Amino acid sequence: MSQSDSRPIGLFDSGVGGLSVLNATRLALPGENLIYLGDTARVPYGTKSSLSITRYAEQALKALLRYDIKTLVVACNTAAAAALDALQASYPELHIIGVIDPGARAAVNVTRTGKIGVIATESTVNNQAYQKAILSLMPDANVKSAGCSLFVALAEEGWHEGELVEAIVKRSLSGLFDHYRDSDDYPDTLVLGCTHFPALKTAISRVVGDSVSLVDSAVTTAAVVKKQLTDRGMLNPGSDGYVRFLVTDGPERFARVAPRFYSETIEAEQVELIDIQHFV
């Protein structure tokens, strides 16, 4: 095994939300070269079938292979939930990391009572991806999930706080929290199982209360990427990595919405438009 690898890491998401994972990866690994692909032509994935999402994820992977990536980070909870196993089975030689396992692991480390709530898109909830991952680590955990696809639009529009946002959050989370208030089943941990949800962290925390720990899978995924590249001797020897942005539609909108999820400035001219739908 070589002791360093200057090839880029590919990160893939359905759109802009995965920039939260890119942000965390950039902070954890400033020396790595990163290529981010947002499938903005087909976002949102969260309301689509697993069959379609798997096809889209395979096309994204094939597009990123053209950039000679050393690792693929599936930076989209919905895509990881629906397609990670299929991608790993089809490309056993490629190092692929999803956001679900790191998030599940963090939740298990944080919970004291084993009562864990998960909020995610409709598709991720239907796939029970977090449920399975958490139960495989903590078989007696009590995991309840709720679909909150509406939060995706709120996060992209910049509606992150305030009365109206809290009212929507309260209603969306009532099945997980209100129903269990004053009962032993009230969760002590909530997994934000969607790239967009950390943007609503303040509003969510106000609704569920300070006693509930919020788990953000972006940060935990970046830590796993760092550990695995280190263990495999695959870190880039350089200290100042580049970031390249690819989208399948609307570079201008991507650059405009990006600051909600990413702390560095992205100009529309930096964002390359590519077609991935021809990959079969």
| Residues near ligand DGL, by CB under 6 A | 13-15, 17-18, 43-46, 76-78, 121, 124, 152, 194-196
Judge residue 71's burial from the number of C-beta atoms within 10 Å of its C-beta, 0-12 exposed, 13-18 middle, 19 or more buried. Answer: buried
Cα gap 239→241, rounded to integer Å: 6
Closer by beta carbon to ligand DGL, 35 or else 194:
194
Rounded CA Rg of the chain: 18
Judged by beta carbon, residue 152 or residue 234, the one nearer ligand DGL is 152
DSSP secondary structure letters along 197-228: GGGGHHHHHHHH-TTSEEEEHHHHHHHHHHHH
The yes-or-no answer on residue 76 being catalytic is yes
Q: Report phi then psi at 136, rounded to 5.
A: -70, -25
Other CB atoms within 10 A of residue 272 CB: 12
Please indicate whether residue 148 is annotated as part of the active site. Answer: no
Query: Strands, DSSP E only, in 39-103?
Result: 71-74, 95-98
Compute the distance between CA of residue 174 and CA of residue 34 in angstroms, rounded to an integer.
Answer: 39
User: Closest CB to ligand DGL among 143 and 194?
Assistant: 194
With respect to ligand DGL, which residue has the nearer C-beta, 119 or 234? 119
Q: Is the peptide bond before 44 cis (omega within 30 degrees of 0)?
A: yes
Q: Residue 25: count other Cβ atoms within 10 Å of its Cβ.
A: 27
Minimum CB separation of residue 44 from ligand DGL in Å reads 3
Which is closer to ligand DGL, CB of 17 or CB of 117? Answer: 17
Per the CB < 8 A criterion, the answer to whether 26 and 243 are in contact is yes
Residue 180 Cβ vs ligand DGL, minimum distance, rounded to whole Å: 25
Q: Min. distance of Cβ 232 from ligand DGL in angstroms?
A: 26
User: Which one of 11, 16, 24, 76 is the catalytic residue?
Assistant: 76
Catalytic residue among 120, 194, 212, 222: 194
Q: Considering the complex, what minimum distance in angstroms separates the CB of residue 101 from ligand DGL?
A: 14
CB contact at 8 A, 226 and 204: no
Nearest distance, CB of residue 26 and ligand DGL, angstroms: 18
Residue showing the smallest CB distance to ligand DGL in the complex = 46
- In this complex, which beta carbon is closest to ligand DGL, that of residue 118 or of residue 141? 118
- 119, 191 in Cβ contact below 8 A? yes
The nearest distance, CB 124 to ligand DGL, in angstroms, is 6
Active site residues: 76, 194
